[in-house]
Structure 1
Amino acid sequence: MHRTALLRCLLTVSLMTQVSGLETLTSKYGDPIEIPCNKGQFKESDVTLVKWKYDKDGNILVKQLDQNATISTDVNYKNRVSIKKDFSLIITQVTMADQRTFTCMLVWKEDILEYPVQLTIYKVPSHPQITNLTTAMAIGKPTMLAQCRTEGASPAANITWFKNKTPLMTDGAAIKINTNVDVDETRLSTTTSTLEYTAVKGDIDAKFTCQVQHIWSANMDSSPLVFTVNYPTEKVNLQVVSQGPFKEGDSVTLKCTADGNPPPSSYSFYIDGEKKTVDSNIYTLTNVTRENTGDYKCSLVDNEDIAASVPITVEYLDVVLSTTGKIVKNPGESLEVTVDVNASGAAQTSWKKGNAKLNSLPKFDKLTYSDSGMYECVVSMAGLKETRTFELVVEGPPVIKNLIKERGEGMTKVLKCVVEGSPKPTVQWSVNGTSAESAYEHGKVTYSIIIDPKGNLTVSCTASNVLGADIKSINVSALVEDVTMDKQDQKDEYSDQTTLAVGIVVGLMLAVLAIGLAYWLYMKKSRQGSWKTGEKEDGSAEESKKLEESQSQKADV
């Protein structure tokens, strides 16, 4: 009977195991895990005994009906396990050692049932750690750049190298990647990957990264790695640092640069054909002259074939003005002004008199007082400017150009004395009155005086300066009619001397014509009278004489 029951029990366990299969659970390293017993489908009152064990012989706990669970003394679980009412097993802080098969064994009615569960533990790897980092790589030379490492993973992590976000693959020549995985006693793995790389010039400023990849985490990238790429100089460049254009007396700074890395620490400069080697890439020419115009060159110290050149032009501007300083001339004289320009390029010349711009070089064929002033010649070219000046002073003794009279208010008269001369003339009137003067312009000034004559006067205007004097007089009457005459006199005085001469000539011609006309009329009348009386045409000598006297008296009238 007992043997039959035992066989039946073993058959039942075998069938249940085959039917149920092997359940699998996954847990994160360090977290608690709940392992169900047949998915919790048994009632507590139906089960007389529950036993949890691991692998083949490892006992965890036993619980009988209406009794508390008895936990084994197994050091792996005695402080980390408990059982729930549905017979599920609770394990806290799972480790890699918990990655095994756990079995729930039940005594249900007359049967013994087992439910195995395979527990898998995973652990996320650490962030990538860069070690054995180099700082520079040379073109064409294999260089071990860095080692990327990640620790504490389960299952093992994978590492991939990238350049500018493009995956690198081992090609056995320019790229060699060596990856190694180590598992410690805790069953956690460490993955290490070493990158050996042969650089090309295009790798300047390239960014290298390593990426840790794991089934249970997102990809993790290292910080970008930028390496110095060393390569020999193939080309040099020479530039002028100073701001041009350059003029004589300036300083000119030259800078030589190379495309190699690291750049050379010294260069050879060729100045006026002479080689000068300096421990710098800068060379300065001081106080340059027009003779410094030419081509300048720099090269590598150890290879003169790798060189560069640049032209330098030193601009110059020489200006010679024939007239400088203060020039004193008399009215009517001539003055020739010339300017000689010697320049490295096309120059522009402009003239000013005071603040007024002149259209061309001033010419003085016949100087007047208005020509006096400060003259400025400005010559400019390519950032250069030269200024030359001279002062022209036209001097002469005073000349009274006009002395006129005008009617004032009431019985007053206004006398005006127009004077020309330089330095500015002063005026002395022979009578007292209210004096005034105009602005002194172009060597001319007008002095005026207001008087109230009580009778006929002769008024004198005396003009003087350091070079001489001039005097003129005018008659002034107290009569009102004199005002009218004065205005007529004023008009006559303002007339030009040429106009006066022409008037005199015209008057003489008119007088001659009048006399000729009168004589012609007389002769005609005489002939007509003899015809009327019937007398002979020839009169007596006495009658002719009387007629001539009569005609002469008429002409005098």
Structure 2
Amino acid sequence: MALPDTAPLLVGLLLLCHAFRAWALVEVNMEDKVEVMAGETAQITCMFTTDEGLGGTTIQWLYVLPNKERKIIYNKEPMHEAAEQNTPFTGRISLNVTGTAAVLVIRDVGVMDNLEFICVIKTLTPEEAEGRTQLQVFKSPTFPTIEAVETGISVNEEEPSKIGSCRVKNGYPKPNITWYRNNMPLRNTPHEVDVKSSITTEWSGLFSVQSELTMKVKKEDKDAEFYCEVVYFVPGATKMTETQRISITVYYPPTEVNIWVESPKGIIKEGDTLELRCENNGNYPSSITTIKHQNSGYSVENNKMVRTNVTRLDGGVYNCTFMETDNFEEILGSTKVSVNYLESAVITPKNSITVMEGEELKASCNALSSLQTSTAWFKNEKLVSKGNSLSVKSATFETAGMYKCVVTVPEMEGMKTSGTLQVNVKGSPQIFGPDVQEVETYETTVNLNCSARGFPAPTIMWSTSDGKNLNALQTETEDGAQSEVTFKITSNVKVFCNASNDFGSKVVEFNIKAIVHTTPTTTTTTSTNTITDDTVQTPTKSPNIKKESKGFVIAIIIIAILLLAILGSVLYFLYKKGRICGRSGKQDFSKRKSSKDNIVVEMKSDNTEEAILLGVNGEKQQPNDQ
């Protein structure tokens, strides 16, 4: 019981000792600020010094409200320490004291923790010191977005027009938005550029910023790109991000109107489909474009005109007019269209021409055209002359016929015209073939043909040497006439073809020889040692029978005899060797008459008169069979 009574005495002695000493020295050092990202853990360090050491030191942590009121959140005394209850930091803070450093740890920091914190150091004496640190919390915003106006903007607007708006959400501290046009920042300019920003504080304490750009547009802005740059802060640094780029529709009046031929490309000719196009260098929503043909007055309210199957009358000047319906100002453009043409070929003389044999032939061919032309004359698809004129010094029957004149335009493929001219050459008839013709026939009826040329077309008459006139069919040809006659003959006769016209006549004689049929006979003789072909008497039937046939038969017979001789030699050799008939040595054979179909050949050796007779079929003949 004596110990508790002495405690007050000890305290009193301690106080008494301090009373006789100088006041204790206390110092506190802290950073001005501590930066941390939202959601992370913050550590605020309080460095202190005191003469009394930790045994008699009290450490307190406080935070400052926006109204400057101070609130204790943690208290550490020599015999007791604890975090204050019912504060915004309850359950999230702790204190680590090591030597002369007291570190306040705040977990899961939020933007609401962006406050000033105070560290107070007290000793047993009335001496105390404190330090302050600003806790700065950062939160990166979302990716910014941008929206452009959907309607077009006219350069004639008197006041600035809205271009678009940018928005960035949930950042801390407040992000900053800057507008750019073609990589150049836009600043507020009276009556030209106006940038307005609005800030929204979310329930979480984060900031959302929206910025709107209005400005007076110019024609150059039709190709401009607009975007926003957002600057935000992170611990120890500044970051930047950009929106996507947008363009706007700018309405501006034109200063020039152009009209041109869209098709066909190059030279235009009659019959083509003509397409005209019109454009201006402006962009205006309320306007009227009109294309008009100056010559005919034909027009369309469109930027395209199509005319089919054009003629030379469709050529000329075409105007394109652009008119603003707001102020009814007009701008005009024009172009000249040339429609080329090639008229039908005109041949002089027309259709046909008749000249006397030996006279000069002259003709001309022309076609009116807007382009340079080239002319050529053809006969039977062959080129006979180049140029507009056709000339033959001395006309003949070969000159007569159908001529074609072709006029083309070298500059334009497929642009051509043509005409025809029938040339007739007057003169005495000419009959094809010799004047006298020989005809041999076995038939009793003969067909004769006679062709004559001349102009006028000759008349062909048939007659015989005995004064008879023959009926025949006559047809006209391109250069004259043709006639064919059929009649029966019983003996040699002469037939005459007489072609005549106003300028003379021509006669051709046909000598017809009738060949009589005869019966042919044949004789053939055969001997033992020789082969004889009797002459075959054949009546002259037709010149188509060939004399070479007899020689061919003789050659075949000679080849057969040679083959039989070779076969006989082989059999004789085998017989001498005893290879056939079971015999050896020499045998005598006599001649034997051949049958009607066999040819007999006699063969003898050098040392004996014995002989072996062989038939055509190669069989041996016995002597007693002779």
TM-score tier, shorter chain, comes to: 0.5 to 0.7
Which residue of structure 2 lines up, in the alignment, with residue 350 of structure 1? Answer: 376
Q: Does 1:96 align with 2:111?
A: yes
- Alignment partner of 1:397 is 2:410: no
Distance 1:74 1:472, change over 3 A: same
Cα distance in structure 1, aligned partners of 2:33 and 2:364 = 113
Q: 1:337 aligns with which of 356, 363, 374?
A: 363
The equivalent residue for 1:408 is none
State the aligned residue count. 423
Deviation readout 1:448-495 (Å, 9 max, x if unpaired): xxxxxxxxxxxx999999999755899xxxxxxxxxxxxxxxxxxxxx
Say which SS state the counterpart of residue 368 (structure 2) adopts: strand
Q: Deviations over 1:225-265 (max 9, x none)?
A: 21111123443222222315333333323333333322555
Look up the equivalent residue of 2:366 and give its one-letter code.
D
Task: State the Cα distance separating 1:422 from its structure 2 match.
Answer: 5.5
Counterpart position of 1:309 = 334
Output the amino acid matched with 1:388. Answer: G
> Could you give the per-residue CA deviations for residues 107-141 of structure 1, whole angstroms, max 9, x where no partner exists?
89999886654321122233333358353221142
Correspondence 1:12 to 2:25: yes
CA drift at 1:339: 0.6
**Contact 1:397/1:422 (8 A) holds in 2:** yes
Q: Does 1:378 align with 2:403?
A: no
Unaligned ranges ≥5, structure 1: 405-418, 424-442, 444-459, 475-557
Partner Cα distance (1:97, 1:8) in 2? 46
Distance 1:398-1:170 versus aligned 2 partners, 3 A rule? same
**Aligned partners of 1:299, 1:398: CA distance in 2, in Å?**
77
Q: Distance in 2 between matches of 1:399 and 1:72?
A: 144
Shift of the 121–337 alpha-carbon distance from structure 1 to 2, 3 Å rule, reads same
Cα shift at 1:155: 2.6
1:193 corresponding residue in structure 2:
211
Partner of 1:365: 393
Give SS of 1:203's match: helix
Decide whether the 8 Å contact of 1:266 with 1:277 is kept in 2: no
Percentage of pairs with the same residue: 24
Amino acid at match of 1:91: I
Which shifted more, 1-10 or 315-324?
1-10
| SS state at 2:391 partner | coil
* Paired position in structure 2 for 1:321: 347
Distance 2:289 2:63 in 1: 78
1:201-216 paired onto structure 2 within 5 Å: 201-216=219-234
Distance in 1 of aligned mates of 2:351 and 2:259: 47
Choose 128-137 or 161-170, whichever is displaced more.
Answer: 128-137
Alpha-carbon spacing, 1:263–1:297, altered in 2? closer, same or farther (3 Å): farther
**1:278/1:359 Cα in 2 relative to 1: closer, same or farther (>3 Å)?**
closer
Structure 1 residue 194: deviation in Å? 2.5
CA deviations on 1:48-106 (whole Å, 9 max, x unpaired) are 98856232654445678999x84432342223334558564433321122122335567
Matched with 2:44 is 35
Q: Report if aligned partners of 1:331, 1:368 keep a CA contact under 8 Å in 2.
A: yes
Residues 280, 214 of structure 1: alpha-carbon distance in 2 compared, 3 angstrom cutoff: same
Q: CA deviation at 1:35?
A: 3.4
* Shift, 1:2, TM fit: 3.1
Partners of 1:202 and 1:208 in 2: how far apart? 13
Q: In the alignment, what sits opposite 2:63?
A: 55
Residue aligning to 2:566: none
CA deviation profile, 1:355-375 (whole Å, cap 9, x unmatched): 447444432333345546764
1:77 aligns with 2:89: yes
Indicate how the Cα distance of structure 1 residues 276 and 356 shifts in structure 2: closer, same or farther if over 3 A, else same: closer
Instruction: Report what 2:15 is aligned to.
Output: 2
1:269 deviates by 3.7
CA RMSD of aligned residues (A): 4.9
Distance 1:226 1:276 in 2: 40
Q: Which amino acid aligns with 2:44?
A: I
Q: Which has the higher helix share?
A: 1
Counterpart secondary structure, 2:141? coil
Q: In structure 2, give the amino acid aligned to 1:80.
A: R
Distance in structure 1 (CA, Å) of the matches to 2:20 and 2:184: 66
Q: Given the superposition, is the C-alpha separation of residues 200 and 272 from structure 1 closer, same or farther in structure 2, using an over 3 Å criterion?
A: closer
What are the equivalent positions in structure 2 for 1:268-287 lying under 5 Å apart? Answer: 268-273=290-295, 278-287=300-309
Indicate the SS of the match to 2:25. helix
Shift of 1:27: 0.5
Check the 8 A contact 2:293/2:318 in 1, yes or no. Answer: yes
Counterpart in 1 of 2:317?
A: 295
User: SS state of the match for residue 25, structure 1?
Assistant: strand
Q: 1:173 to 1:472 in 2, by over 3 A?
A: same
Match of 1:138 in 2: 154
C-alpha separation between the residues in 1 aligned to 2:382 and 2:214? 79
Q: Residue type of the partner of 2:244?
A: S
Partner of 1:246: 268
- Alignment counterpart, residue 34 of structure 2, candidates 16, 25, 38: 25
From the superposition, tell whether residues 103 and 264 of structure 1 become closer, same or farther in structure 2 (CA, over 3 Å): closer
Is contact 1:369–1:422 with CA below 8 Å preserved after alignment? yes
Q: Which residue of 2 aligns with 1:235?
A: 256
**Separation in structure 2 between the aligned mates of residue 47 and residue 393 of structure 1, nearest angstrom:** 150
Residues 138 and 233 in structure 2, CA contact (< 8 A), matched pair in contact too: no
**Structure 1 residues 126 and 473: CA distance shift in structure 2, 3 A:** closer
Matched with 1:122 is 138
SS in 2 for 1:291: helix
Distance 1:231 1:23, change over 3 A: closer
Kindly tell me: are residues 2 and 22 of structure 1, through their superposed partners in 2, closer, same or farther at Cα, counting changes over 3 Å?
farther
Mapped to 2, the partners of 1:167 and 1:78 lie a distance apart of 47
| Of 237-246 and 391-400, the range deviating more from structure 2 | 391-400
Q: Secondary structure at the match of 2:310?
A: coil
Report SS of the residue matched to 2:168: strand
Residues in 2 aligned to 1:192 and 1:289: alpha-carbon distance in whole angstroms: 65
Distance in 1 of aligned mates of 2:451 and 2:401: 17
* Structure 2, gaps ≥5 residues long: 1-13, 65-69, 438-449, 455-478, 480-493, 512-626
Rate the CA distance shift 1:473–1:373 in 2: closer, same or farther, 3 A.
closer
Kindly tell me: are residues 54 and 46 of structure 1, through their superposed partners in 2, closer, same or farther at Cα, counting changes over 3 Å? Answer: closer
Q: TM-score, normalising length from structure 1?
A: 0.61
Q: Secondary structure at the match of 1:155?
A: coil
Secondary structure at the aligned position of 1:124 is classed as coil
Q: Equivalent residue of 2:390, what SS?
A: coil
Between stretches 273-282 and 310-319, larger displacement belongs to: 273-282
Which residue type is aligned with residue 342 of structure 1?
A: L
